[in-house]
Every structure is written in C-alpha cells, then in structure tokens.
Structure 1
Amino acid sequence: MKIALIGYGKMGKAIEQIALDRGHEIVLKIDETNLSDFTKENIAKAGVAIEFTGPHTAYENILKLLDLGVPTISGSTGWLDKMDTVQALCNNNNGSFIYASNFSVGVNLFFELNKKLAALMHPHKEYDVALEEIHHTQKRDAPSGTAITLAEGVMETYSEKKTWVNDVQLDSLLPQADELLIVSKRIDPDPGTHTIRYSSEIDDITITHSAHSRQGFALGAVIAAEFLKDKKGIFTMKEVLGL
C-alpha cells in the first residue's frame, strides 16, 4: 500500500516506521517545510493518506484530500465543529474517510468499557462522575479529543449531563449539576493518560488508560488505512476493529 503522510512530526514519524515494518511504502511526506509539494500530482501517487497535523490546519487538509479523491485517515483534533461539512463532502464525492480521536486499539476497547461502566453506575446516584486527562506540554488543544469521546460516552447514559466543561486550572472549576467535568493537565513526557472516576463518600471506582508511547496510536492509524483502502464511505474505529 502506498501512503501519503500529511503531517510529519513525532506522530508522522511513528506511523512511517510502523507502515514500513508492515510492508507499506511512504510516497509523500508533508510538513511545514514543504507545503508546496501538497499537490494533486503527488497525492495521486498514494492509495491512502494519513493526516496528523493540528487544529488550525487539519480541516483544510482534509477538505483538500477529499477533493483530490484520496481515501483519508485523520487523527487531528480541535476541528470537529466542521465535521458535518467534511462528511457531506465525502459523501458527495463518493469518497472514503475515517476520523478517530484516538486510533489506539487499547483506547478503542477502553471507549467501550467506559460506556459499559457508565451504564452500570448511572442508577447509583451517590456517585459523582468526572474525567481527567494528562498529556505532554506540546499538546495544543484541551481537552484532548480522546477525553471528549470518553465524556460523550458517559453522557450517552447520563442524559442529565447536558455538556462537558474543561478545567485547565486543575481542580479549580466547580461544575453545575448538568455539566460533566474534564480536568486537563499538561505534564512532560506523558503521551496520554485518561481516567474516569466515580466518587462517593464511601469509595471511588476508577478506570484508567495510560499510553506508554505513540506506538499504539500509530499502529491503529496504519490498521485503519489498511481497512479503508479500496472502500467507499465514512467509517469509525468500531468498524475497523469489529467492536
């Protein structure tokens, strides 16, 4: 499989190594130094593109890739308010697209565990629920996309929680009864730790996913690319992993 990497930072380099190890070929690598190479002619060499950039560039990158007709994997966060436009373009162009807030196989299993635990805990009103996420200081957005996905998983059951709120001042925000608190911490060199905690006066129940490196995210992105190649439509990691 021939892959274009849109975004060649730490994540892009991790994806490159895993893709090569799995027998794939990297035919294009785009970063801030060679944006002029992001052309129709160069993209046409690839069977799939993997986009990992940032909240200020991801949306335009995805639109360009879908306009050029290349199956697109995106793991960038911070642009999801424009998801409807991206999905409409993909459908109108008979394209192929997968977005995930986190491509790690372990995290996607954790998403399902989170929903199951929320359903078990919801009848027990003596417990308050809150989330915490920790990332390295170079992460640009807060809360993380993974934390938002986890919060949305909780709110599927906790319908009384109308929205999530983010505290980046570390335990200084008191949420309203209809708000789900996400505390964001930035501590080097943490690649990603996410915790859901149910607290009562008697005890706490906590589930945590701790990433040891970027390798899990990178492997999942390559697995998603292998799944998407030669398919049409919009998919999620649930379909990729058969969850």
Structure 2
Amino acid sequence: MNIALIGYGKMGRAIEEIALGKGHHIVLKIDVDNAADLNKENISKADVAIEFTGPHSAFANVMKCLELGVPVVCGSTGWLEHFEDAKKYCEQQNGTLVYASNYSIGVNLFFELNTRLAALMKDYPSYNVSMEEIHHTQKKDAPSGTAITLAEQILLNNPAKKRWVNQPTDIAEELSIVSERIDPAPGTHKIKYSSMVDDIEIIHTAHNRIGFAGGAVLAAEFAPGKKGVFGMKDVLGL
C-alpha cells in the first residue's frame, strides 16, 4: 500500500517505521516546510493519507485530502469544532475519513471499559467521578483528545454530570479533568470514582508511541475501498 504522511514529527516517523516494516511504501511526506506539496499530482500516488499535525492545520489538511479524493486517517486533536463540517464534506465528496482521538488498540479497549464502568456507576451517586491526564510538554492541546472522548462517554452514561471542565471543581454537575504536562510521558489517563468508603480507578498508561502509530497504520489498511466516516470501533470491530 502507498501511504502519504501529512505531518512528519515524532508520530509521523513512528508511523513510517511501522508502515515500512509491514511492507508498505511512503510516497509523500508533508511537513511545515513543504505544505504546498499537498497537491493532486503528489497525492494521486497514495492509496491513503495519514494526518498527524496539530489543531491549527488538521482541518485544512483533512478537507484537502477529501477534495483530492484520497482516503484520510486523521489523528490530530484539538480541531473537533470543525468535525461536523469535515463529516458533511466527506459525504458530499463520497470520500473516506477515519478519525480517532487515539489510535492505540489498548486505549480503544479502555474506552469500552470506561463506558461500561460509567453505566454501572450511575446508580451509585455516593461516588464522585473525576479524571486526570498526563502528556509530554510538546502536546499542544489540553485536555487531550483522548481525555475528552473519555469525558463524553462518562457524561453520556452518567446523568449526574452535565459538562466537563479542565480544572478541579467542587460543583457536583461538573466533571473535572486535570491536565499535566510532564516530559517524557507519552500519555496517561486516569478515571477515579471516589466515595467516603473506597475508591475505584481505571488507568491507561502508554509506554511509547508504538501503540498509537501501529493503530494508525491499521486504520490506514482499513480505509481504502470504504466510503464514509469511520472510527476505531469500526477498524477494530468493537
């Protein structure tokens, strides 16, 4: 499979290593210095594009890939206020978009566990739920996209919580997400249910970028030939 990498930082290089190890070919690398190379002539060589840049460029990159007719796997976070626009444009173009806030297989299993635990805990109001997330200092958004996904799963399953806030809070209707930026942490997410008598915690800790990169390559293998908007639940069959 021929892959275009849009974003060639640490994650892009990790994706490249895994993709090459699986026998794929990298036919285009786009970074801040050659953004103009994301054009029809160059992207036509690719079966799929993998986009890992940042919150300020991701939406434009996704829209450009859809415009040029290449399936795109996007892992950038912090741009989801534009996601519905991207989704509508994908449908108009009869294109392919795979988006996940986190491509790690372990994290996506953690999402399922979080949803199940939130559904169980809604009947026990003596437990207050809160969240923490830790990432490296180069991460541009806070809270992380993964933390937002986890928070939205909790809000959907626990009617006592009406909204999340990115700070400690004593307001019962608010779900606290505390974000820390500490090197060299690739990513830790903790959900804690606390009561007067005990605590229940679930934690996912990434040891490196391999899990994220491997999942992104898996999503890229899934995308060609599909039409529509997909997530890692579709990729993994969850």
TM tier, shorter chain?
over 0.9
Which runs of 5 or more structure 1 residues have no equivalent in the other structure? 168-172
Percent of aligned pairs with the same amino acid: 63
Distance in 2 between residues matched to 1:10 and 1:177, nearest whole Å: 39
Match of 2:119 in 1: 119
Find the residue that maps to 1:13 and give its secondary structure.
helix
- Residue 165 of structure 1 contacts residue 175 of structure 1 at CA under 8 Å; is this kept in 2? no
* Deviation (angstroms), 1:162: 1.6
Match of 1:130 in 2: 130
Q: Does residue 208 of structure 2 align to residue 213 of structure 1?
A: yes
Match of 2:20 in 1: 20
Identify the match of residue 184 of structure 2 among 179, 189, 192. Answer: 189
State the Cα deviation string for residues 63-84 of structure 1 (Å, max 9, x = none): 1111001000000001101111
Identify the match of residue 201 of structure 1 among 175, 196, 207. Answer: 196
Which runs of 5 or more structure 2 residues have no equivalent in the other structure? none
State the Cα deviation string for residues 104-154 of structure 1 (Å, max 9, x = none): 000000000001111111111111000100000110100000000000111
Find the residue that maps to 1:33 and give its secondary structure.
helix
State the Cα deviation string for residues 165-208 of structure 1 (Å, max 9, x = none): 002xxxxx324222111000001000000000000111110000
* Deviation (angstroms), 1:215: 0.3
For residues 75-86 of structure 1, the aligned pairs below 5 Å read 75-86=75-86
Match of 1:230 in 2: 225
Match of 1:51 in 2: 51
- Residue 129 of structure 1 contacts residue 180 of structure 1 at CA under 8 Å; is this kept in 2? yes
Distance in 2 between residues matched to 1:105 and 1:51, nearest whole Å: 18
Distance in 2 between residues matched to 1:157 and 1:118, nearest whole Å: 6
Superposition TM-score, scaled by structure 2 size: 0.98
Distance in 1 between residues matched to 2:213 and 2:137, nearest whole Å: 20
- Residue 121 of structure 2 contacts residue 158 of structure 2 at CA under 8 Å; is this kept in 1? no
Matched residue type, 1:233: G
- Residue 4 of structure 1 contacts residue 27 of structure 1 at CA under 8 Å; is this kept in 2? yes
* Deviation (angstroms), 1:160: 2.8
Distance in 2 between residues matched to 1:174 and 1:46, nearest whole Å: 47
Q: Does residue 151 of structure 2 align to residue 151 of structure 1?
A: yes
Distance in 2 between residues matched to 1:94 and 1:37, nearest whole Å: 24
Distance in 1 between residues matched to 2:79 and 2:54, nearest whole Å: 9
Find the residue that maps to 2:55 and give its secondary structure.
coil
Find the residue that maps to 1:230 and give its secondary structure.
coil
Range 187-196 or range 121-130, more displaced: 121-130
RMSD: 0.8
Which of structure 1's runs of 4+ aligned residues deviate more than 3 A?
none
* Deviation (angstroms), 1:101: 0.1
Find the residue that maps to 2:33 and give its secondary structure.
coil
